[in-house]
Structure 1
């Protein structure tokens, strides 16, 4: 895709001379809205998206936009920023991939196309479970489909005495997770393994399993915006009904859990498919801002009834 003529003119104007940050923000927001970009990968709308792109690229704090509204940005900087704005439109790349970073629940993570952009509902659900005493502090935490490692790292902050374990089918994603664990000082207490599902953890048991699996159904995959298609498809595509990963995982999980162990599982908008695949499975739905039936807490006892 290429910029509309009007938006090309807006960018040309922006680069003519030194201009305030707020001027560039208005231009970027106007362009993002008129070009019908998609959001939801760490930003909610065109304003958040544009502010993140500009502030991060200028090495300014993301939460202090108002403090820098009237800061004068040199024309040379605007020329660099205009190329990023154009790339956001032309290639439909998410802003996290353009800036190389993502934020989730107050923590910063490296982000690139080796892994999904951190945005999992599991982090919010985990906080809810702790506040409601639905989960006891675990000694061992396993994060399946760990991707960038953001969920595992949040668990590490919640449970400072827990040993951390993470696995992913993608060796490239694990490279990214290792970098993020290093950044957060958790490498010494974390073990990463490459492999499908629970295969890397034969003979081991855990107190808590966290899993944000590929759960997007075939029909939803076909309608994903270009920004989401820029992410690794293997981390999103859950097959015909979105349950290709969940079926074997939940039937096998009880053997990898300690007696009081639990699984915290994200299934997004696929609750109807989940219930159809596991009609008799007892679970507790954990409410998150995006919905009431997107994250399930499942006990080992409930999983044993599936076997």
Structure 2
């Protein structure tokens, strides 16, 4: 039984005064705050979340002229919107899992609980074509731990002459990714490669490797809010300090980068764990205008030199 079917559509008399789009948004935001919901999957506050869900339920654009917020809804429209708002409260699922759609770099992606909700600050770097970090436009790009494919597909739009490989091991995420490749008509330049990290790419080398790998320490993952617990654990949790997958990426990336290649990797709030595990690594930390942090940049040359020095110290 779907979540929609599980929640009664009958509207209590106490909600009868809720007749306009604005009424439903205001009520939804109040309910979200009253129940202590947590945000961070496309919105960062109750009002924006309610706006997103109500407009989605009505199949209306998010840039709807303000005058339409005062329109009165048909009874079936009102019931649909209220049920979606209730699902958000009762299931604690992130809004994109309820609507089936998430937005990243101005593109619409299909998403469900088999893949992370797209929200990486790497999106801002893609919109800037990774400047000033790339010496030239990449011809080959690898999106490592690709999930829904949002980073790699968005990069394909940013660099229309590039070919992009999306590396992923999880069958469910691969199914979501495949739907997004078809949705965006990029099958001729974007391909999934199935396997563990670099294993499926063979001897291919890339001008750019970009990754949002699992990086959440185990104890921190266990304490996450219910909204984040709905996301696949495999895409989040990565050992006692969260750096298990990141270390594998750092060790192997030079083999798969071209001579002037660049590695860009997100580690979120695990920067302290990163610096403790990899002291002295010469990474750059981009600053973001739209929020977010915890993304590092390192060239193949810098990474190779650091790895050699690290090996000598051991």
Query: Scaled by the length of structure 1, what TM-score is found?
Result: 0.91
Match of 1:83 in 2: 83
Match of 2:49 in 1: 49
CA distance in 1, matches of 2:52, 2:14: 18
TM-superposed deviation, 1:183: 1.4
CA distance in 1, matches of 2:298, 2:67: 45
Other structure's SS at 2:288 match: coil
Other structure's SS at 2:117 match: coil
Match of 1:106 in 2: 106
TM-superposed deviation, 1:72: 1.4
Match of 1:3 in 2: none
Match of 2:32 in 1: 32
TM-superposed deviation, 1:289: 4.0
Q: How many residues align?
A: 298
CA distance in 1, matches of 2:274, 2:62: 37
> 2:94 aligned with 1:94, yes or no?
yes
Moved over 3 A (4+): 13-18, 126-131, 289-293
TM-superposed deviation, 1:129: 6.2
Other structure's SS at 2:89 match: helix
Instruction: Extract unaligned runs of 5+ from structure 2.
Output: 1-7, 309-314
Assess if the C-alpha contact under 8 Å between 2:135 and 2:260 holds in 1.
no
Assess if the C-alpha contact under 8 Å between 1:54 and 1:81 holds in 2.
yes
Alignment root-mean-square deviation, CA: 2.0
Deviations 1:74-95 (A, max 9, x none): 1222222222222111110111
TM-superposed deviation, 1:251: 0.3
CA distance in 1, matches of 2:127, 2:290: 15
Match of 1:157 in 2: 157
Match of 1:240 in 2: 240
Alignment of 1:179-198 (within 5 A): 179-198=179-198
CA distance in 1, matches of 2:55, 2:116: 22
Match of 2:202 in 1: 202
> Residue 18 and residue 25 in structure 1: after superposition, are their counterparts in 2 closer, same or farther (change >3 A)?
closer
Assess if the C-alpha contact under 8 Å between 1:17 and 1:74 holds in 2.
no
Assess if the C-alpha contact under 8 Å between 2:168 and 2:193 holds in 1.
yes
Match of 2:120 in 1: 120
Assess if the C-alpha contact under 8 Å between 2:39 and 2:46 holds in 1.
yes
Deviations 1:195-224 (A, max 9, x none): 111111121111100100011112321221
> 2:146 aligned with 1:146, yes or no?
yes
CA distance in 2, matches of 1:164, 1:129: 14
Alignment of 1:278-293 (within 5 A): 278-289=278-289
> Residue 74 and residue 14 in structure 1: after superposition, are their counterparts in 2 closer, same or farther (change >3 A)?
farther
Other structure's SS at 1:284 match: coil
Match of 1:275 in 2: 275
Match of 2:69 in 1: 69
Instruction: Extract unaligned runs of 5+ from structure 1.
Output: 1-7
Other structure's SS at 1:178 match: helix
Assess if the C-alpha contact under 8 Å between 1:129 and 1:135 holds in 2.
no
Match of 1:256 in 2: 256
> Residue 16 and residue 75 in structure 1: after superposition, are their counterparts in 2 closer, same or farther (change >3 A)?
farther
CA distance in 1, matches of 2:41, 2:142: 24
Other structure's SS at 1:242 match: coil
Higher mean alpha-carbon deviation, 59-68 vs 12-21, is at 12-21
Assess if the C-alpha contact under 8 Å between 1:15 and 1:79 holds in 2.
no
> Residue 52 and residue 169 in structure 1: after superposition, are their counterparts in 2 closer, same or farther (change >3 A)?
same
TM-superposed deviation, 1:241: 0.6
